[in-house]
């Protein structure tokens, strides 16, 4: 019988791929996250399936696009037909004890103790209680007789740095209080892509203006944005310290040598790039996420630049570690493999401007190795085309440049074909 390692999945909320020390960011220190990269593999081209909490999390636990599991907006449920095929139920059938702690947010915010997702609830929605609850589970598991132990799949889900939403609105933060920020000149600088791309789809700023409770940034000064970036990085450092507690508990109970550790986030945050806070739209800071896998006995310190999706690819990857086949209709890739054959041609990504005020704009992106195409369903200048190799900050929109019209046409066709393959009901195409 094939050995089944324990699996620990750690997620943060609203953390961009570039908001890591190991990604070269000099404005924060993330020793726990960096240690996972140093001891494992870091995927530096990982994307979410939709930059919004519920849709992205529904993808993570089903291996499907948000429209396929009918969770395309916040506080929606995964459709009843797919719940029995979710990650918790699937790994439980493969012989795992499946345990959940922290934020769920796939209706409701905290997973109920009685649920249809295959998990026993370890701890509720509380960033401070989550690390000790996980450590207590590790200790209790090791005390069991060897014959009574099943391998475990523990999903530990932190809320932060999502508290940057409350910070921007001058609200009390749920799990901690930050000190007063330093003077603006001592805060992180504005990002190089602080200005909007040109030309930019007009609906982006219309949605931003309509949703003041989400984007209270219309009259912010550059000093305000610098303080915002300082707070965002401090929240990431705070949650990194809680992840360090969790990893320490794993090591002190002797379980680290037989536990695969996966770290990711549901989506990113604008961080002031293009004068954007929060999520929803399709700029890189918002849709690219951290993804690291530490596998016992495998060399670490590797960076993998394959185009991957945490929502589509983690399910089949964890099945590979568990020694079971994923549901047959999943299209994600097994990231445990060293190479992908054939290479993935691109990724389709969904978006929806949630928030209850505004116009409910939807959009889609098609991301390739060097190119990215975006289309929103309303307004002027609906399309964007970026050469990510030459313009990683997405400052120059090439969609209306006559020299790039053949590239635009090709990207439109590829996006439409990708949507048709998954029966995506999106109708906002530009062609």
pLDDT digits (tens, 9 = 90+) for 356-414: 778 999 999 999 999 999 999 999 999 999 999 999 999 999 999 999 999 999 999 99
- Our measurement of the distance from residue 116's CA atom to the centroid of its chain's CA atoms, rounded to an integer in Å, reads 23
Kindly report the average pLDDT of the chain as a whole number.
96
Phi and psi of 374, rounded to 5°? Answer: -130, 140
User: What pairs with residue 302 in β-bridges?
Assistant: 41
Q: What are the tokens at 185?
A: 């000149």
For the domain spanning 347-421, the CATH number is: 3.30.1120
What pTM, to 2 d.p., does this model score? 0.97
What is the C-alpha separation between 330 and 65, in angstroms, rounded?
Answer: 10
Which two tokens mark 27? 């404005």
Residue 142 contacts by C-beta under 8 Å, 6 or more apart in sequence?
253, 254, 255
Given pLDDT bands bounded at 50, 70 and 90, which one contains residue 190?
A: very high
Superfamily of domain 6-322: Alkaline Phosphatase, subunit A (3.40.720.10)
Residues present in the chain in total: 431
Whether 218 shows a pLDDT value over 90: the answer reads no
Q: CA 428 to CA 430: how far, in whole Å?
A: 6
The domains of the chain are located at 6-322, 347-421
């Amino acid at each position: 019988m094939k050995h089944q390692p324990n699996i620990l999945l750690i997620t943060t909320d609203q953390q961009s791929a570039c908001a890591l020390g190991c990604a070269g960011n000099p404005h924060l220190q993330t020793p726990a996250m960096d240690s996972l990269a140093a001891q494992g593999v870091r995927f530096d081209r990982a994307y979410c399936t939709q930059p919004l909490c519920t849709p992205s999390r529904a993808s993570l636990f089903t291996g499907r696009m948000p429209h396929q599991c009918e969770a395309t907006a916040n506080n929606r449920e995964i459709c009843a037909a797919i719940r029995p095929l979710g990650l918790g139920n699937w790994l439980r059938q493969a012989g795992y004890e499946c345990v959940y702690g922290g934020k769920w947010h796939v209706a409701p915010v905290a997973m109920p103790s009685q649920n249809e997702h295959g998990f026993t609830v370890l701890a509720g929605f509380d960033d401070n209680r989550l690390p000790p609850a996980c450590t207590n589970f590790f200790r209790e598991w090791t005390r069991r007789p060897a014959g009574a132990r099943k391998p475990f799949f523990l999903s530990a889900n932190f809320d932060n740095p999502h508290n940057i939403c409350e910070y921007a609105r001058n609200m009390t933060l749920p799990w901690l209080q930050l000190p007063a920020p330093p003077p603006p000149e001592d805060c992180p600088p504005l990002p190089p892509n602080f200005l909007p791309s040109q030309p930019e789809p007009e609906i982006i700023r219309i949605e931003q203006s309509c949703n003041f409770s989400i984007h209270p940034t219309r009259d912010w000064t550059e000093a305000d944005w610098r303080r915002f970036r300082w707070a965002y990085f401090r929240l990431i450092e705070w949650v990194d310290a809680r992840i360090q507690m969790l990893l320490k508990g794993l090591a002190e109970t002797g379980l680290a040598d037989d536990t695969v550790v996966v770290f990711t986030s549901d989506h990113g945050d604008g961080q002031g790039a293009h004068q954007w806070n929060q999520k929803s739209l399709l700029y890189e800071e918002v849709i690219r996420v951290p993804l690291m896998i530490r596998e016992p006995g495998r060399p670490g310190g590797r960076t993998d630049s394959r185009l991957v999706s945490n929502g589509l690819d983690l399910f089949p990857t964890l099945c590979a570690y568990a020694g079971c086949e994923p549901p047959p209709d999943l299209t994600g890739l097994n990231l445990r493999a060293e190479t992908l054959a054939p290479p993935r041609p691109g990724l389709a990504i969904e978006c929806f401007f949630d928030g209850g005020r505004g116009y409910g704009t939807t959009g889609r992106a098609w991301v390739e190795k060097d190119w990215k195409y975006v289309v929103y369903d309303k307004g002027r200048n609906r399309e964007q085309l970026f050469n990510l190799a030459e313009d990683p900050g997405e400052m120059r929109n090439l969609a209306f440049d006559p020299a790039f019209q053949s590239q635009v046409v090709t990207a439109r066709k590829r996006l439409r074909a990708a949507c048709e393959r998954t029966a995506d009901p999106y109708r906002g195409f530009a062609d």
